Chains A and B, each alone.
Chain A
Amino acid sequence: MSTPTKTGPTRTKPADAPHGVVAPIIGQARQVSFWAEQAAPIGLVGLVIVFSILSPTFLTLGNIRAMLVAAAILIVLSVAQSFVITTGGIDLSISATMTVGAVGFGLAWQAGLGFVLSGLVAVASALVIGLINGLLIARGKVTDFIATLGTLSVATGLALIFSDGKPITVNSSELLTLTSGSIGIFGYPIILAVIIGALAWFVMFRTRFGLHVQAAGGSEESAVANGVNAPRVRIAVYLISAGLAGVAALLLVARVGAAEPAINTAFLLNCIAAVVLGGVSLTGGKARIVGPIIGALLLTALTNGLTLLGVSQFYQPLAVGLVVVLAALLTRFQKK
């Protein structure tokens, strides 16, 4: 009753009812497109099975809790990146923007602004980078890749300049609560990430704006012909991306206990990887929110599992890279 693995084999014998549900799934499983569409959840289940066999601690409540907390930042960034990639763009500056937000928080905290105001400063300073991205891409017609590569460097530089290259220690009781508080096994960071994910899903699939994001990514020409203001949509997705990077900055400062002007490249690559794993096409037009969240969980479980198994940290980028390349290959077989 408690574990799904036990119910599986016992059920197959007497059941008539589940047969009707299982048969179509088995039928679908014969097609490559099924595996391509469901790459992230299948990969996640596969990893969980493998790691729980190899490591007894992997599926303990403590480790699950730690994994979920560790996944929170990546989930927020992946959701943010998902909006940009749905329009056919890419935000390479997302992790540098998060760093700017973190340094903004640190400086505001140091100046004695308190938690709430410092949090607002973090989001606002991140939004500045997002606005620059949006204007460069939508109004300046600079390619997404180049524009955000530029702001990646600019944002990293600004973070270093403003912080003088040193981490700013933050002893905030609110941040301590944010990072250590929990409801059951769900820490506040993962709860925040899931709420953001739910809001993002709602905006993407239940509002006019979300439809316009998908339309602008699917065919900008057709979207514009139907009265969609594509430049405004583009500016908006970069603002969303940056704003969420600002929120992720709070989680990062809370976790580290300091605002560091670090580059955080791993977050950039992993959030793009999570979005690709989640089934979002890099050419745009195909929106997913749950997929990238599962993708982020998968990448976190992969890193966590390898660490538990005592595999050297040097192998982690290799493993993440392999998973992403595999996922990208699989997406070729997705249903059109």
Chain B
Amino acid sequence: MTQTSRNEDEMTTQTDFQPGSAPASEILLEATDIKKSFGGVHALKGASITMRRGEITALVGDNGAGKSTLVRCLSGIHRPDSGTIRLDGDVVHFSTPNEARKHGMETVQQNLALVEELAVWQNFFLGRELVHGPFRTLDRKNMKRKAADMLADLAVNAPPVASKVRRLSGGQRQAVAIARAAGWGSKIVIMDEPTAALGVQETAKVEQTIETLRDSGVSVLLISHNFDQVMRLANHVWVMRAGLAVAERRTAESSGDELVALITGAKAH
């Protein structure tokens, strides 16, 4: 199922592809000329990227190229010094992660933002609890059921919702964090190195979760150092170097070697 839809994607991209000229309706997110400095350090010097609807867009680049800063600007953690972000064609300004969230942009943080002592379902709904009755008591039944449904839809390694996060494996934690981010009608889920700390099997499961997420219509922005993973998962890739997004490629028409050349600057763009 996942495999066929991937092949379809690749086929359509091969026939339609023209670099940088996707139809406007396909562009979900457009960040233009984003600049951000910390003191004298110019982390972003006018980076521009686009994300297409329903795709996995990868962001690659060397350490210090500005990937994390760009993502933090998109998710409302940092405020860009200048530049515009358009979501669905409308200019948006996020000054907090909550504002980005309200616009349907969820971020799976590198530390996952899970509370280990709480159960999976409690983490799932933390900050957005469902309540019922005259005393606004927690609607535990409903929350457990919804969390279980969302996890089962998305993850092959879905943990029981009543177990504490402390008892989960790294891959299961990642699945919980991804499912939580996806579970609020989000348009875009941003993931920063989701498999960096995982073993081979767990990585495969998390990748499967990310694909399922994409197939359900959510657009994903993926930061990764793993070129194999980028080639496997992403439809589109942006390469960052020295605070700028220097190149974009369809993964179907690129290779790991080309990406390395772009990252190091051996190939300019």
Contact = CB atoms under 8 A, between A and B. Distances in A.
B197 interface: no
Contact of B126 (A202, A206, A228): A228
Contacts of B116: 218-219, 285
Contacts of A208: 129, 131, 136, 138
Nearest to A216: B115
A212 B127 CA distance: 8
Nearest to A228: B127
Interface in B120-158: 122-123, 126-129, 131, 135-138, 140
Given A206-B137, A206-B138, A225-B97, A211 B117 contact: no
Given A215-B126, A336-B166, 15 more contacts: A202-B137, A207-B135, A211-B126, A214-B118, A215-B122, A217-B117, A221-B111, A222-B113, A222-B126, A225-B109, A226-B113, A226-B127, A228-B126, A285-B117, A336-B167
A286 B114 CA distance: 15
B98 interface: yes
Nearest to B112: A222
A323 interface: no
6 contacts: A207-B138, A219-B115, A222-B112, A227-B128, A228-B127, A336-B166
Among all A-B residue pairs, the 7 with the closest Cβ atoms: A227-B127, A285-B117, A218-B117, A226-B127, A225-B113, A218-B115, A222-B113
Contacts of A223: 115, 126-127
B117 A207 contact: no
Interface residues of B, number: 25
Contacts of B136: 207-208
**Interface size class of chain A, counting residues whose CB lies under 8 Å from the partner chain:** 20 to 34
A195 to B, nearest CB: 16
Contacts of A219: 114-117
The secondary-structure label for the interface of chain A is helix
Contacts of A222: 111-115, 126
Interface of A: 202, 206-208, 211-212, 214-215, 217-219, 221-223, 225-228, 285-286, 336
Interface string B26-37: 000000000000
A281 to B, nearest CB: 8
A211 B97 contact: no
B179 to A, nearest CB: 14
A211 B166 contact: no
A285 B122 CA distance: 13
A218 B117 CA distance: 6
B27 to A, nearest CB: 29
Contacts of B115: 214-215, 218-219, 222-223, 285
B130 to A, nearest CB: 9
Interface centre among B115, B123, B140 (most CB of A within 10 A): B115
Nearest to B97: A225
A221 B110 CA distance: 12
Nearest to A208: B129
A207 B113 contact: no
B159 to A, nearest CB: 16
Contacts of A206: 137-138, 140
A286 B117 contact: yes
- Which of B113, B117, B122, B166 neighbours the largest number of chain A CB atoms within 10 Å of its CB? B117
A219 to B, nearest CB: 5
A237 to B, nearest CB: 16
Contact of A215 (B118, B138, B167): B118
A211 B129 contact: yes
Contacts of B114: 219, 222
Nearest to A286: B117
Contacts of A227: 98, 126-128
Q: Quick one: which of A212, A214, A215 has the most chain B CB within 10 A?
A: A215
A124 B87 CA distance: 50
Contacts of A215: 115, 118, 122, 126
A211 B122 contact: yes
Nearest to B126: A226
